[in-house]
Amino acid sequence: MSDTHVHLQSRLAVPLIGSELEEPNWFAIHTMARHEKRVDSQLKDKRATTFLPLLQQVHRWSDRRTTVQVPLFSCYVFVRIVPTVEKRIRILQTPGVLGFVGSERQGTPIPDE
């Protein structure tokens, strides 16, 4: 039994994957419909770097016209993070966030270009 205990201690001393030494990457976040601006604001409050491209559109009603800003990509916000477990969980706990876009909802890094 002591051999198992020693083995576990030696495994814990190994640096974890996703450490702070990694470079930050852009990830697409899937949001609830019409929650893009709210999610963007909440992520900025959490000190995350975000990108939400907006378009100006004129909406017309029978009695008036209004210029509004709408997301270029409906239901998506982009965030730049170092992909650690803690940071992913922090993003996923944001109200309005449905998940990361990518394989198995882990998120696929988007090249800077």
Per-residue pLDDT in tens (0 to 9) along the chain, 113 residues: 444 444 333 333 334 444 445 899 999 999 999 999 999 999 999 999 999 999 999 999 999 999 999 999 999 999 999 999 999 999 999 999 999 999 877 899 999 88
What's 36-103 look like in SS3? HHHHHHHHHHCCCEEECCEEEEEEECCCCEEEEEEECCCCEEEEEECCCHHHHHHHHCCCCEEEECCH
Domains of the chain, CATH where assigned? 17-105 (3.30.70.940)
Q: What's the whole-model pTM score?
A: 0.78
Pull the structure tokens for residue 72.
């270029």
CA-wise closest residue to 53 among 35, 29, 81, 77: 77
